[in-house]
Each structure stands twice: as structure tokens, then as C-alpha cells.
Amino acid sequence: MPVNTRFELKTGMATREAFGKALAALGRENPNIVVCDADLSKSTYTSLFAKEFPERFFSCGIAEANMVGIGAGLASAGKIAFVSSFSCFVMNKGFEQLRVAVAYPNCNVKVVGTHSGISIGEDGPSQMSVEDLALACALPGFTVISPADEVATMALIRAAAAHAGPVFVRTGRAKCPIVYPAGQQFEIGRAIELIEGKDVAIIAHGLMVAEAIRAHETLEAEGVSARVIDMHTIKPLDRDMIAQAAAETGAIVVAEEHLVDGGLGVRVAQVVAETSPCVMEFVGIQNTYAESATPEQLLDKYGLLARDVAAAARRAVGRKK
């Protein structure tokens, strides 16, 4: 069922901050939760957990590979182990350890990457994680999640902790528009149709969900009925929701703050090809690294605004029949 409210999209907290708050709350409820961080706890907000539960927080220094291995060992001994850093560091420097020590033996480790995408802004491409979803989805058995706002993050971090098996959760640095009402329910693997529509379906995750909603408003004024879907779980995909959108609208746009290569779009395209082939357009980062600027300037320059999503939707609708 669509959430079906008018969306105010008021600015809320960054999803990384929501993660930190959710983690501290979980720590109060469950003494089995432990956290490892690699000298970025003030930025990842795991410092909130560390302050309350210093004995359950392990500072690993700037050594992501060791951190992931330690997380795997803690999980093997029965702990629910969260390991966190900037997404680009934990996923890239820790990838081999995520593969052999976590995914291969199906270890109960929760990896939370912060500072994903290009909206980190001024720090530039060495800190920007634009390939983390491709990497995480390449790990058999991993559940991969990209929440849209603080409400989604808090609920999905809780769901990740409750899930048996490895999970990657992608969060961002920038303050983020609030999409969901407090108390919204989330289920891993079940996408949320935010807005009904029949001409085109916009499937988005993370920061781009709010842009998709804004694009819907523009399109509505032009007489185009755009469905908006929050695909918060990148793996496993909600295949039914995708197949239904493809069959009912005949045009799909996927919008994401990630490389188009290996992102949600190509995963959705696979499902569309296997179920109900239709026109598709892809909004994302095109085979490049970004640069230093404000988040707003970067989202504008690299084509990740509502304007770009709406243009893709128009192209998709125009290509139908």
C-alpha cells in the first residue's frame, strides 16, 4: 500500500547520525551487541555507542582489514558485531576480509558504511563511495540496504541487527529530507510504494528517494503519472514489486547516488528482463569520479536532482510503444 501522504520533505538528520542513535538504542536493549570502528567514530556516530558502552566498543585504529576480521571473530563467538567506517574504506580496504572472513562462512557481521555517494561534498573522490553497492551485492549471502531517511535508517538498522547473517547498510553524510512518518514499518526485502502512478515507475534508494518524490510533483503538473518506489533493500530485491511496476507502467527509471555500473539499476533491469521487459532509463553516476564542491553543486553537476529524474521519466515515457 502506498504511504500516500503529501510529502513535506522537511530536512532531517543525516542517515549516519540516525545510524549512531539507533545503534546506541540497540546497545541499551541488547548486551550482545558490540561495535568496531576504525578511527572515524565521531564521523560515523558510533561514538554515541562508545560513550555509553565503552567495554563493548573496540577502537581498531586506521586498520579496516583487521577491523573486519575482528568483527568476524566476535560474531563467530556469538556476538552481533557492527563494524563501521566510511563506506569507501570499509568496503574497499575490507573487501577481501568481507569475502573470506564474513560472507564465505556466513558470519553474523553488520557492516555500516557512512559517507556514501558524492554528497559528502568537499572531501572529494578519495572519500566518496560510489561502488559500495556493487561490491556488497557481489558477496553471496549478504543483505544490502540503502535507507532513504532517518526514519528508515533507524528501523532498518534494527532489522539488520535482528537478521541472522551478514548485512551491509549504506548511509550518508549530508542532512537528509524526511520521507517517512514516524512509526513507518520496514521489512528487509520488501520495497515501499510511496506514490501510485501508471505512466512510469521511478525506483530509487537513499538520497534519491526524495528527489524521485520531487520529480513526481513536476511530472504530475505535466500530466504524467509517476509511481515512486523506495527500493531500500538492494539485495534481495523485491522482485514482485518490480515485475508489477514493469507490467503496469511499461516504463521504469532507476535513480541512485552510485555508479550506474553495478548499481540498483542493473539489478532491476535483470528482474525486468526476466519478468516483464519494458523501457528503462538509468539516473546515476556515469563511469567517472566526482570532485570537490558543495553537495548541492555536485548533485547538480553529476545529474542527481529531481530535474534529472523527471527528464529520464519523460524519455522513458516517450520511448514507450
Partner 1 sequence: MKPSKSLEELQAIAKRIRREIVEMIGAAKSGHPGGSLSAVEILTTLFFDCLRHDPSNPAWEDRDRFILSKGHAAPVLYSVLAEAGYTPKDKLNTLRKLGSPYQGHPDKRFIPVLEASTGSLGQGLSIGLGMALAARLDGRPFRTYVVLGDGEIQEGQIWEAAMFAAFHKVDNIVAIVDYNRIQLDGFVKDIMEIEPLADKWRGFGWHTIECDGHSIPALQAAFADAAATKGKPTVVIAHTVKGKGVSFMENNPKFHGTAPTPAEVELALKELQ
Out of 1, 4, 77, 181, name the contact with partner 1 by CB under 8 A: 77
Chain residues 28-57 in contact with partner 1, contact rule CB under 8 A? 34, 55-56
3-class state of residue 234 by DSSP: strand
| Residue 96 binds partner 1 (CB under 8 A) | yes
Mention every residue, 6+ apart, whose C-beta is less than 8 A from residue 319: 251, 279
The nearest distance, CB 76 to partner 1, in angstroms, is 6
| Residue 95 binds partner 1 (CB under 8 A) | no
| Residue 140 binds partner 1 (CB under 8 A) | no
Tell me the number of residues near partner 1 by CB under 8 A: 31
- Residue 64 designated active-site: yes
Cell numbers for 253, please give them.
Answer: 527509471
| Residue 138 binds partner 1 (CB under 8 A) | no
Q: Where are the beta strands (DSSP E) in the chain?
A: 33-37, 57-59, 80-86, 109-114, 143-145, 167-170, 192-195, 200-204, 226-230, 233-235, 251-259, 279-285
With respect to partner 1, which residue has the nearer C-beta, 65 or 138?
Answer: 65
Out of 14, 80, 101, 224, name the contact with partner 1 by CB under 8 A: 101
Out of 7, 58, 95, 186, name the contact with partner 1 by CB under 8 A: 58
Chain residues 183-212 in contact with partner 1, contact rule CB under 8 A? none
Nearest to 214 by CA among 13, 8, 14, 11: 8
Out of 100, 162, 247, 273, name the contact with partner 1 by CB under 8 A: 100
Spatial distance between the Cα atoms of 257 and 164, rounded to a whole number of angstroms? 28
Nearest to 116 by CA among 102, 135, 101: 135
| Residue 289 binds partner 1 (CB under 8 A) | no
Which range touches partner 1 (CB under 8 A), out of 13-21, 100-108, 130-138, 265-273? 100-108
| Residue 112 binds partner 1 (CB under 8 A) | no
Active-site position among 64, 131, 150, 256: 64
Out of 104, 162, 187, 320, name the contact with partner 1 by CB under 8 A: 104
Pair 206, 182: CB distance under 8 Å: no
Residue type, 275: T
Q: CA gyration radius for the chain?
A: 19
With respect to partner 1, which residue has the nearer C-beta, 164 or 182?
Answer: 164
Cell numbers for 309, please give them.
Answer: 529524474
Degrees, nearest 5: CA angle 25-29-32: 110
| Residues identified as active-site | 64
Residues that bind partner 1 (CB under 8 A): 34, 55-56, 58, 60-61, 63, 65-79, 81, 96-97, 99-101, 104-106
